[in-house]
Structure 1
Amino acid sequence: MTGLVHRALRLFVVAAFVLTTCVPFTPAHATRVRIKDIVDYEGVRDNQLVGYGLVVGLHGTGDRLTNTIFTRETLIGMLNRLGVNIRDRMIQLQTHDVAAVMVTATLPPFSHGGGHIDVTVSAVGDARDLTGGTLLVTPLQAADGAVYAVAQGSLVTNAFTATGQAATITRNIPTNGHIANGAVVEREVPVTLGANGILHLSLRNANFTTATRIADIINRRVSRGMAKVDDPRTVSLDMSGFDPSQTLYRIGDLTVEPDTMAKVVIDEASGTIVMGDNVRISTVAIAQGNLTIQVTEMPQVVQPAPFSNGTTAVVPQTRITASTDDSHRLGILREGPTLASLVSGMNALGMGPRDMISILQAIKADGALQADLEVR
C-alpha cells in the first residue's frame, strides 16, 4: 500500500512539472482605458475664483498695521460698514491679530446654488502665521467680475513653528491655509451639451491614431456615422436626435487602446530618464570612457630658525592627477523589438543613468534613436 502511495505521488509531481513547463507564455494584453479618462467634453470645464479678505483671531502673528497699509484700510472700512467709525478719530491701530489674505477656489462644472466648495487662503502682507485664524465673509469673483461664491470659516494650515532662544524650526507653510467646504456657491455656470447638435471630445494627448480608434468604436457601438475625427485632438459627435447625458454615459464607458508617441524624456538635473514603449534604437556600437581628475591640497607650514626674527609661513602645495578608465570596451547595442530588450541591452553594457543620458544624446545625434528626445 505504501509503495502505491509513493508511486502515485511521483506521478503527480511529474505531471505537475510537465504542465508547468509546457504551458506556453501568453503575452500581456494591451492596456485599454475608458474614453472618459482620456478626453474632455466641450463646454465642461472648471472656473477659477479669487477674492480678497481678512483673517482675524490670530495670536499676534498677523500683519503689522504700521507697515501694511492695505490691511489697515481694509480693517477700517470693514468696521465702518459694521457701524464702528474710527476713520475720523485719532486712533492708532496696533493690533497684530488681523491679516489680509487672498482667497482662491475652483468652481467645478455643474455646480448648483447652495453647494459647497473648498477654498485656499494665502497671506499677502507680513503675517507670520495664519494658524487658528477665521476668514471673514469674502466674495469670490470669476474673470467676468461676477460673484459666484462666498467664503467664510476657520482655516487649517497643517503647519507649526517652534522657536527657541537660538533657533527656530518650521514645518510646511504657516502662511497658507485651507478651508474644507469653506465657500457657498451663489451663482451657477450654465453648461449646455451639444447646443448646435455637435459635441466635441478633446483628447488630452493629441494623437491621430487614438482619435481614430475613439471614432471607430463610437460608430460601431453607439451609432454609425456619429463620430468624425477633425484633427489629432478633436473628435466631433453628431448628437442630433440623441439625449446628450445618456449618450455621453455610454460613450464614456467604452474602452480603447491609446497610442503613444515614441519619446525619450531626460531630466539632466535629477538624472531621470523616461522612455515610452515605442522607442527603438538601431544597431550601434558604443564605447564609454571615464576621465577622473583629482586635486589634492597639501599646504606645508614653514617654521623660522630658533631664536631668529623670522615668522611662521604657510606654503601652498597642490597635486593634480588625471586618469582614464580604459576598462570599458567597445560594445554593440543591438536593435530590440521591445522596450525591455532595449533597457536590458543598455544595462548589459554597464551604463549608469548619467552615462545613459549622454549616450542617448549621442545616439540621437547619430540618427539611430528612432524617437523624439526631450531634454529638460
Structure 2
Amino acid sequence: MKVLLLSLAVVLAPFSHATRIKEVASVAGVRSNPLTGYGLVVGLDGTGDQTTQAPFTGQSLTAMLQQFGVLLPQGVTMQPRNIAAVMVTASLPPFAQPGQQLDINVSSIGNAKSLRGGTLIATPLRGADGQIYAIAQGNLVVGGAGASAGGSKVQINHLSAGRIPAGALVERSVPTPLSQGSDSLQFDLNSSDFATARAVAQAINKAKGAGTAQALDGRVVRVKAPSTPDERVAFLADVENLDVSMAAPAARIVINARTGSVVMNQAVTLQACAVAHGSLSVTISSTPIISQPNALSGGQTTVAEKADISIRQEPGSLIQLAAGARLSDVVKALNSLGATPQDLLAILQAMKSAGALNAELEVI
C-alpha cells in the first residue's frame, strides 16, 4: 500500500492552469458512432461451435449457403467444427467517407474454443438506425495462445475474441453539424464546470470578438461560426488551439475496488484527526479423515473432512494524523495507517463523515 500511494504522488504532476480548448471541449455532434454486425468465422482447426449446443450457427451456415445457390437435402443437419458465430463491432469515426478502412473487433457468441486462424465472411455493420454503414471481412488476429494435451490445458489471454486491422470498408458517411449550414455551433465540455465554461467563452470572445461565444450552462458553450465550409474549418482550427485559464478542480479521490488502485488530485486536503485501524483474520484448515470398515463387514471406505476455523482480531492503536494542505502530506498520513486499499475506502469514508477530509469519493 505504501508503494502504491507514493508512486501516485510522484506521477501526479502539478496542476496546469492553462490548456487548449480542444483538450476540455469538443464540437457537439462531431463524434464516433458504434457499429455492430453478426457474422460467421470459417477455417477454424476444429475449435469452432458445436452446433448441437449452438444451433444458430448451423442455421446461419444454411442461410449463407442458400445465398450461393447451395440447397441441403431435407432433414440433413450439418455439424461442422470449423465455423463459429461471432459479433462484429467497430467505431465509425466522424467525417468517415466511403472507401475508408476501419479496425474491427470480433467476438464469439457460441461455444467456440478458439478463433485463431479463422476468416470472417463478409458481414454488414449497422448503426443505431438499422442502416448499413460498413462491410467487414478478413483474417483474424488473436492475441492469445493456448495448448492442451492429456486433459491438461494452458491458456494465455482470450482465444474467443480477436481483431482485424483495417478489416471493414465504409459504405456510407454520417452527416455532421458542420455540413448543415447553421450559423452557430455548440461546444460541449468534457466535464461540467461553470468556471471552465466561462473561461472558454471568454477566450473565444477575446480572440474572435465580443458576442461570438456564450456560455449557456456548466457544459455548453454556443459559438457563432462562419457559414462557408472553408471559413468554418479555419475558424474551428483557431478556436481549438486557444489557451484557456483553468480553475483548480474539485478535490476528488477515485478508488478501484477490484485492483486496489487509489488516485487523488492535488486539491485533496486533510484536517487534523485521529484514526484507529485494526485487523481481522480468519483461518480455515481442512484435514481429510478416512473411515475404513472392518474386514468382511460389507462396508465401504468413506472419506470425510474435518474443518478447523479460527478468528484472530488485532486491536489497532489510535494514530494521530496531522493536518495536510498538500498532496504529499495527505499521502504520508494515509501511508502511516498501513491499511489495505479495501480498508482505506472505509477509512476515507469515515474521515469524510467526520469532516476531516474535503474530497469527493468515487468507487469504480
Structure 1 length as normaliser, TM-score?
A: 0.77
- 1:195–1:316: structure 2 CA closer, same or farther, 3 Å change rule? closer
**For the residues of structure 2 that align with 1:138 and 1:295, how far apart are their CA atoms?**
54
**For the residues of structure 2 that align with 1:177 and 1:237, how far apart are their CA atoms?**
42
Native 8 Å contact 2:276 2:316 kept in 1? no
Q: Larger relative contact order (C-alpha < 8 A, sep ≥ 6)? A: 2
Native 8 Å contact 1:273 1:357 kept in 2? no
1:166 and 2:157 aligned? no
Q: Return 98-107 or 186-195, whichever deviates more.
A: 186-195
**For the residues of structure 2 that align with 1:127 and 1:320, how far apart are their CA atoms?**
45
**Unpaired segments ≥5 residues, structure 1:** 1-26, 300-314
User: What is the identity, as a one-letter code, of the residue corresponding to 1:225?
Assistant: G
**Unpaired segments ≥5 residues, structure 2:** 1-12, 288-305
**For the residues of structure 2 that align with 1:250 and 1:321, how far apart are their CA atoms?**
65
**For the residues of structure 2 that align with 1:218 and 1:244, how far apart are their CA atoms?**
14
Native 8 Å contact 1:271 1:357 kept in 2? no
- 1:357–1:173: structure 2 CA closer, same or farther, 3 Å change rule? closer
Match of 1:252 in 2: 240
1:186 and 2:177 aligned? no
1:32 and 2:18 aligned? yes
1:98 and 2:83 aligned? yes
- Deviation per CA, 1:138-159: give whole Å up to 9, x if none: 1111111111111111111122
**For the residues of structure 1 that align with 2:137 and 2:225, how far apart are their CA atoms?**
42
Question: SS of 1:280's equivalent?
Answer: coil
1:110 and 2:95 aligned? yes
Match of 2:315 in 1: 324
**For the residues of structure 2 that align with 1:175 and 1:289, how far apart are their CA atoms?**
45
User: What is the identity, as a one-letter code, of the residue corresponding to 1:117?
Assistant: L
- 1:101–1:317: structure 2 CA closer, same or farther, 3 Å change rule? closer
Aligned residue among 264, 270, 277 for 1:281: 270
Report matched runs for 1:1-376 at 5 Å: 30-86=16-72, 88-193=73-178, 195-240=181-226, 243-259=231-247, 260-282=249-271, 284-290=272-278, 324=315, 326=317, 328=318, 331-334=320-323, 336-347=324-335, 349-352=336-339, 356-376=344-364
**For the residues of structure 1 that align with 2:274 and 2:151, how far apart are their CA atoms?**
56
Larger-Rg structure: 1
Native 8 Å contact 2:90 2:103 kept in 1? yes
- 1:268–1:76: structure 2 CA closer, same or farther, 3 Å change rule? closer
**For the residues of structure 2 that align with 1:167 and 1:60, how far apart are their CA atoms?**
18
Native 8 Å contact 2:280 2:311 kept in 1? no
Match of 1:24 in 2: none
Native 8 Å contact 1:46 1:106 kept in 2? yes
CA apart distance, 1:252: 1.0
CA apart distance, 1:268: 4.7
Native 8 Å contact 1:62 1:99 kept in 2? yes
Question: SS of 1:231's equivalent?
Answer: coil
Alignment size in residue pairs: 331
- Deviation per CA, 1:134-191: give whole Å up to 9, x if none: 1111111111111111111111112222011131011121111111111111111112
RMSD value, Cα: 3.2
Match of 2:3 in 1: none
What is the aligned-residue identity percentage?
A: 36
**For the residues of structure 1 that align with 2:350 and 2:54, how far apart are their CA atoms?**
56
Structure 2 length as normaliser, TM-score?
A: 0.80
User: What is the identity, as a one-letter code, of the residue corresponding to 2:327?
Assistant: L
